[in-house]
Structure 1
Amino acid sequence: MRGFLVKLRVSLFPWRRRARSGQLSFLRRFPNKDIKRATAGFSRSFVSLSSGPVYKAKFQDGFMAMVKEVKAFPQGKDAFYREVQLIGQLNHCHLVGLRGFSTGCERFLVLEYVENGSLKEHLTDPLKTPLNWKTRLRIATGVAAALEYLYFFCNPPIYHVCINSRNVLLDENFNAKLSDIGLLGSCGNHIAKSYTLCSRGCMDQECRNIIFQLGVLLLELVTGQPSEDDGTDLVKWVQDSNFLRSMHKMVDPDLGNTYDFIELRTLLTVARLCTKTDGNPKFVRQILLYLQRKVKP
């Protein structure tokens, strides 16, 4: 009877099982040689995330994807498989999906192909068509929705994420897709940090960092200016008590006069709050609800 129950559980919940070879049953495993061939020897650089370059890949069966090498992950093979399993189960329209992985001397993640590259390119590259105001609002709301999903609908909640215009990718309809999620994708020294949680559900500093980064991203969307050095100049401006008087001067010139004044003030008010918050993750849900209520579809 016990054997029957085990077989039944495996058939109903295949993601709980990992074969001895490390193959996760719900993700495709790619040989390293296939990844090298699909990326033309890693010559098809597509975007550059905070954690490193991402390559465009076309496999022999016609499957299109993005490939990123996983570096600086010292926790070992089993930890790598657990993290891949965690990321692979994420399913949200504003997250870049994990489609497969590869192991060996080098480790790679095979990611959903996102056609229009990074938000940073579209804000700073003069050869790119400028993003209109409605698209920027939709991107802001999409990123907030992705964070709400990671914080409140994932078990365990995921707080290892790096938010900036490099890591926000845009699909064919210019909808936002957040990348660099989890320990395999986080930027900077987040990679080596543990999942030790504080009493409020996440590490205080992690939460402050993420919400602060969201505020800086909103400022980038309004101004079109890159957030180098953690957006120090932009944050200093929006935290000034008279920032509303000068907001028209800070709007991205590419927008002209096509933006809505009320929506502009709303977005900047949210950015100001994000760069001043104490880091409570519940604030993310409040941001999303506020944007959905105040911003016209």
Structure 2
Amino acid sequence: MNLLFLLLIPIWVLSSPALSVPLDVKPDPPASDPVIPTEKDPFFKNSSDLGAHSPARLEVAEVNLVHHQDLNKKILVALVVSSSLLGVILLLLSCFWIFRLRKKANAKSHKKSDAAYGVSFGTILDKFPSMRIGGKKVSIAAIEYPLLVTATNNFDEANILGEGGLGRVYKAHFNDHFHAAVKKIYAGGLEAEREFENEVESLSKIQHQNIVSLLGYCIHGEARFLVYEMMENGSLELHLHGPNKSRLTWHLRMKIALDVARGLEYLHERCNPPVIHRDLKSSNILLDSNFHAKLSDFGLAVTGGNSNKANIKLSGTLGYVAPEYLLDGKLTDKSDVYAFGVVLLELLIGRRPVERVAEAQCQSIVTWAMPQLTDRLKLPNIVDPAIVNTMDLKHLYQVAAIAVLCVQPEPSYRPLITDVLHSFIPLVPVDLGGSLRLTDSAVSTCA
């Protein structure tokens, strides 16, 4: 309002009669007795008087008229300029007011959506301090040990979701609306401590729809605990090789491959510095209630992108480790691409990456499948029987070609994960995150 008042002052000043430029108006002559003209006293005695006085008076009148017109123009211009400025200011104020209203509305909607996804757990996490690793503060909250004991029913075996090399994963019920997965890392050892710190440091900086979220951590004596978001459908390994092997359709498998490629593309191309997962495998690919795939277990992750890591200790899982890393210790982002190719073969064939063929002999899925992947006659015969009736042969050949490129022994022959990602988008239906539009008959076949 003060701004509007200051703008109105010059308009009032210009339009005020007291402060405007005085007009050239002569006062009326003093009153006197009227004189009736006669022939002896005419208005103009002769024609020379008319010529002497008329032009001067006309010139004065014209000057006064021009002066009045200039003054009116100045007042009009001042009014137009002031009105324009006033209009612009009112428009800006209106835009600012609308922006504030929308910002408040968006904030309310975000709060509602967070509550719908169970972020009420955040009120629990806010009670605990953040962690410091290597002198750097990370934004993962510390959780008290008694809270984990209560949520997992004292780590009851009935709540075990899975088991890895360094520990078990338990289902935790924090309240009726929020569940999470608690990973208990076996106590002792520098390796366990290093992987614990690496996991916390890596996931505290990474947020992506295809990477599992780390919610908190706990240190209790020598034991270490990590709290993740709940992934209701477990790991991809359980669905492909577990005791209750599920019948994942062709399009669901392609969706999972696309999700994994998106997660790797984020690590390789979007993170700064780039991140190499180094332990990509089907057991580290988790599925939520809608079969959205997310990468997990970043204990072995390495930052630094494409540079050789010859001084890094050899780690990983047999069958997924790239040849150059296994033989020469050279680690690049193409090592993750090789592991992705092995996962892709698991999705296509339904076999484990390494299988025992004799008492003291094992065979890799890459060695066994490579000659048949490039033969269009043999390829349909090695596909997982669970997807034979739901796949498109043309798409099968395309996926097999991608897998062959990803598992090439020479790293330079393997594609970038970005190229793999763009190759999968046309193979996945629109409703599953790709660009493929299915006909009604194809939809019924997939169902």
What is the TM-score normalised by the length of structure 1?
0.78
Structure with the higher fraction of residues in helix conformation: 2
Q: Deviations over 1:234-281 (max 9, x none)?
A: 212332275432111111111232101121111111111111054369
Q: CA deviation at 1:169?
A: 1.0
| Counterpart AA for 1:122 | H
Q: CA deviation at 1:66?
A: 0.5
Within 2, Cα distance between the matches of 1:63 and 1:24? 27
Give aligned pairs, total: 270
Q: CA deviation at 1:76?
A: 9.9
- The answer for the alignment partner of 1:273 in structure 2 is 405
Does 2:411 correspond to 1:283?
no
Aligned match for 2:181, one of 60, 66, 82: 66
**Is the CA contact 1:211–1:277 (under 8 Å) kept in the aligned structure 2?**
no
Secondary structure class of the residue paired with 1:96 = coil
Q: Deviations over 1:127-148 (max 9, x none)?
A: 3541111000000011011001
Does 2:164 correspond to 1:32?
no
Task: Spell out the pairing of 1:104-119 with structure 2 (5 A cutoff).
Answer: 104-105=220-221, 106-119=223-236
**Is the CA contact 1:161–1:180 (under 8 Å) kept in the aligned structure 2?**
no
The verdict on how the C-alpha distance between 1:215 and 1:208 changes in structure 2, with shifts beyond 3 A counting, is same
- The answer for the alignment partner of 2:393 in structure 1 is 261
- The answer for the alignment partner of 1:143 in structure 2 is 260
**Is the CA contact 2:138–2:201 (under 8 Å) kept in the aligned structure 1?**
no
Secondary structure class of the residue paired with 1:240 = helix
Larger relative contact order (Cα-Cα within 8 Å, sequence gap ≥ 6): 1
Within 2, Cα distance between the matches of 1:164 and 1:133? 19
Task: Spell out the pairing of 1:171-210 with structure 2 (5 A cutoff).
Answer: 171-181=288-298, 184=299, 186=300, 197=304, 200-201=306-307, 203=309, 204-210=330-336
Aligned match for 2:337, one of 191, 208, 211: 211
| Counterpart AA for 2:154 | G
The verdict on how the C-alpha distance between 1:174 and 1:269 changes in structure 2, with shifts beyond 3 A counting, is same
**Is the CA contact 1:50–1:167 (under 8 Å) kept in the aligned structure 2?**
no
Aligned match for 1:98, one of 214, 217, 220: 214
What is the TM-score normalised by the length of structure 2?
0.53
Aligned match for 2:380, one of 248, 262, 284: 248
Q: Which moved more, 1:124-133 or 1:77-86?
A: 77-86
Does 2:286 correspond to 1:160?
no
Aligned match for 2:354, one of 204, 222, 228: 228
The verdict on how the C-alpha distance between 1:76 and 1:270 changes in structure 2, with shifts beyond 3 A counting, is closer
**Is the CA contact 1:24–1:85 (under 8 Å) kept in the aligned structure 2?**
no
Note the residue ranges of structure 2 that are not aligned, 5 or more in a row.
1-128, 310-329, 357-361, 430-435, 437-447
Within 2, Cα distance between the matches of 1:52 and 1:164? 17
Q: Which moved more, 1:215-224 or 1:120-129?
A: 120-129
- The answer for the alignment partner of 2:74 in structure 1 is none
Within 1, Cα distance between the matches of 2:216 and 2:410? 37
Within 1, Cα distance between the matches of 2:195 and 2:255? 35
Q: Which moved more, 1:138-147 or 1:148-157?
A: 148-157
Q: CA deviation at 1:89?
A: 2.4
Within 2, Cα distance between the matches of 1:47 and 1:76? 17
**Is the CA contact 1:51–1:180 (under 8 Å) kept in the aligned structure 2?**
no
**Is the CA contact 2:131–2:142 (under 8 Å) kept in the aligned structure 1?**
no
Within 2, Cα distance between the matches of 1:80 and 1:251? 38
Note the residue ranges of structure 1 that are not aligned, 5 or more in a row.
1-16
Within 2, Cα distance between the matches of 1:234 and 1:140? 17
